[in-house]
Structure formats: C-alpha cells, structure tokens
Structure 1
Amino acid sequence: MADFENLVPPHEPAEDTLTTVIGMGIDTIPLIGQAAGRLLDHAIAARAAQRRHEFDLAIVSELRRLAEDQGLDALTVADVVASDEFLATLARTQREAAETASESRRRRLALAAVGPLKRGAPARVERADFLRLVVELDELHIWLLNFFADPAGWLTAHHIRVSITGGSPMTVLTHIVPELRSRDIAIIETALTTLEQHELASVSLRTATLRVLLQPGISERGRRFLDYLGEGPSVEAKLPSGFEQSS
C-alpha cells in the first residue's frame, strides 16, 4: 500500500508561550500592550499549526481507509498528488480545520477532502455544494438530519417511548430532551429552517398526529449528504453536545 504518511511533514511544536508564561510565575502581570498582542498571536499560531498537523494525519487516515476500501492497488500517492481537485479541496479544508474547535467538524472536513478520489462520488458540482454545507452546518443540523431520516427508528433504538397522540415535532423532541428550554426550541426551529432552505429536509412545525410526526422528513438530497459524510446508520446518531439526555 502507498505510504501516504510521507505526504505529511513532521510537526515540530512551537513553544507554548502561554504555558511558559504561567510556568515562570508571572501570570499575574496584566495582559496589555504590544507584548500581549504578540503573546496571543504566537499562541494562536502555534495552536493552528497543531490543528493543521492533526488534520493532515486525519487526511492520511481517510486516504488509507479509502485505499483499503477500493483495493490495495486502486489508489497511489501519484494518484493523490496528481488530482488538482483533491489538492484544491485539501487546501480549503485545511484552512477551515485550522479555524474550528469542533473535532467532529474536522472529521467531516477530512472526509470531504478525500471525496474527489472516491469511486461513485457525487458529481463535482454537488461535492462543492456539500463541502460548503460541511463548513456551514453544525452538530445540531447533522443530528436533526439523522433523526428525521427515521424518527420512529431513532426513538426505538434509544428506548424512548413517546406517549402522545399528536403535537408538533418540538413535542416529540421534548420527550427526547425533557429539559429543552424556550431558547433551545428557538435554536432547533432555526436549524430546521436552515435545513429546509438547503433542500435537505422539510419538517413542518405544525401540529399533526403522532403517525405523521414520525414519518421521515429529509429529502433525497439530505440522504445523499449524510452518505457523503459517512455518517453510518441514522438511528445510531448521538445527540449533540448541550442536548444530551439526563442520566
């Protein structure tokens, strides 16, 4: 198998300036003036470099997995570096990965980066569109897509019984996370609107019977997007951080 690790330069961590300052016992000195700006710039640059290196290793992991899936001789280093589309996508995803604190978003960016090399991948225009969505959408959007791909299946898989005859999608979601506050509800409704605007899902917020509420609400485009992300079975999707069920 091609040694994709050779594509990633070694990482030599820069000195962590903030740690050094604290270690010197001078962390009580007011953080002001030009020195403060240089200190923070250095720390941010060091962290960005670390994230870049970790992301490049994630790319290598995805390339190795892709090579295994497509056959040991189906993907070579020459194939990778000869693909202008892959290199352009990699450059963009590297920038985005360095700027996000979300590990799961970096994972999805790594998947998107190797997309041009996959057999049976979506057309180039749709790949570019999906990459834009990877950058724009957050954990809540992705979970809502997974949930509304099969609401009844998700509830069953997570042993949640919805004891109502009707209501709205928010009524069902309250059974999943009983502590949902009005602010959370507004965030979810906005997320559903965003998914509809991108033609990924169409979930009516109006009152309906439970049978109607538990019908799938995502589009074929939404399903293709989940496939593009390599999300796995929708019923196994975990609630995003901040919306976890109480134990």
Structure 2
Amino acid sequence: MTDLADLIPPHDPSEDTLAAVGGMALDAIPILGPLAGRALDHALAARERERRHEFDIGVVSALQQLAERSDTALTLADVVNSDEFLATLARVQREAAETASHTKRRRLARAAVSALDPSAPPRAERADFLRLIIELEDLHIWLLAFFADPRAWLDAHDLAHVYENSGLGSSPGVALEAALNYHDMTFSVSIEAALDDLEGRGLASAQLRTFMAQGGMVQPRASARGLALLQYLDEGNPAEAEPPPAG
C-alpha cells in the first residue's frame, strides 16, 4: 500500500493560474476579452488539477490508514475489484474538484474508502452519510460538532465562564456567539441558514434566541443521526473542533 502514492501524477504549481499576467493591471492587458477568457479557462483547469491531486493524496492516505488498522489484510486487488469503492470514488471525484474546501475533500476521500472498511456502517447508512458530506459545508459540520455538547466545547476552549455567569438563564445563541467571538451580521445570517439546514436534515435543533433556564443554553442539541455522522467523519473530539473562518 505504501507504493500507491507513487502512482499519482505530480502536480506542477508552475502551470497554475494566470502566471503570465497575474501581476499586471487589467487595463494594461491588450484585447482583454479573448485573453481573459483563455486565462480563466487555464485557471479553472489548473485549479481542477490541483484539487484532483490533493484528493488523490487523501484517498491514498485513507487507504493506508485502513490497511494499517484493518483486522484483515487489505490488498490492491481488494481496492480495484470493489465495485462500490470505484463507483463511490467516481462520484466523489467530481465533488472534490468543485469544492474549495480542503477539509471537505478529505471527508470525501475518507467516505470513498469507507466502502472497503469492514467495520464501517451498513451500505445504506454510508450512502446517507455521503449525501450529507456532499451537501454540507465546513460551517455545518462545525455547528454540528459544537451543538453535540456546547458545554464540553466551551470548557475545552477556556470559556466556561460564559455559562457559569449566565445568571438565571440565557439562550443557545449566547454560547454560540462566545464560541465564535464574531459579530458580523452577514456571518450571522450564514449561521442561521446553516442551522436551518441541520434541522431540516434531522441532524440538530438549536433555536438561538430561545430564552431558557440556567444550564439550558449548553444542553446538547445534536440528534442521534447528527452524532452518528460525527462519529462516521472521525475527525477527533468534537469539543476540540475549530470554527471555520467567516465568509
């Protein structure tokens, strides 16, 4: 398995985006329309190659990790003869090329490899999780991790005073605001939309402005399905997850 990485073509950064004109002002470039069109085509192709290369490395890394911890030996024949793995790989390759998130590409790579893992959830559950991985962005996953146990997250980040000093009570939004330390209204709109997405998919339910008794603000709000997704993602302790950058 350790030789699989040698099969991945190298990615050449020297071929990347707009190298020839990147430092020029737009009004200094003659015949901007055709040149810009070619440059953008080149940029898209180069970025897709870069993302595909990163994804391929992620798949190999996940395969190597599986081979190291699997109770049964994983061979190259197992990999190339698995219809489910190859079908899933073909599907997530397209998704990986279209996302700007490095983290999401790693999730997609691990989801493909889980088809080869005898300890993974049943096929129908894996298919459900794959759909969620494709649909959800980094903000969704972090919010799910946070609301799996807000108290644990605040404790892990030295923010216990947020709920200890809440008096008679407060809302989940106060805990979330402290976790993000961010007050930009545009990001707030993104958060509320993401929470609506999580609730609509049955993963978590958090009404940010609901006033409740002391302690209620840090009660877990992820569903059993949401917790199962976090376990499947296997990204470490949810309480240690760092929020994505705003925007």
Shift of 1:75: 0.8
SS in 2 for 1:20: coil
Counterparts in 2 of 1:29 and 1:229: CA distance versus 1, 3 Å: same
The residue aligned with 1:111 is 110
TM-score (norm 1): 0.88
User: For 1:81 and 1:48, how far apart are their aligned partners in 2?
Assistant: 24
The residue aligned with 2:87 is 88
- 2:143 matches 1:141: no
Structure 1 runs not aligned, ≥5 long: none
- 2:174 matches 1:171: yes
Kindly report the root-mean-square deviation, in angstroms, between the aligned alpha carbons of the 2 structures: 2.3
Equivalent AA in structure 1 for residue 199 of structure 2:
E
- 2:215 matches 1:216: no
Contact 1:170 1:185 in 2 (8 A): no
The residue aligned with 2:3 is 3
Q: How many residues align?
A: 240
User: For 2:181 and 2:39, how far apart are their aligned partners in 1?
Assistant: 44
The residue aligned with 1:232 is 236
Moved over 6 A (4+): none
Contact 1:150 1:235 in 2 (8 A): yes
Shift of 1:213: 1.9
User: For 1:26 and 1:181, how far apart are their aligned partners in 2?
Assistant: 32
Counterparts in 2 of 1:140 and 1:26: CA distance versus 1, 3 Å: closer
Counterparts in 2 of 1:221 and 1:36: CA distance versus 1, 3 Å: same
- 2:186 matches 1:183: yes
Structure 2 runs not aligned, ≥5 long: none
User: For 2:129 and 2:43, how far apart are their aligned partners in 1?
Assistant: 32
User: For 1:229 and 1:133, how far apart are their aligned partners in 2?
Assistant: 11
Contact 2:63 2:113 in 1 (8 A): yes
Contact 1:55 1:106 in 2 (8 A): yes
TM-score (norm 2): 0.88
The residue aligned with 1:35 is 35
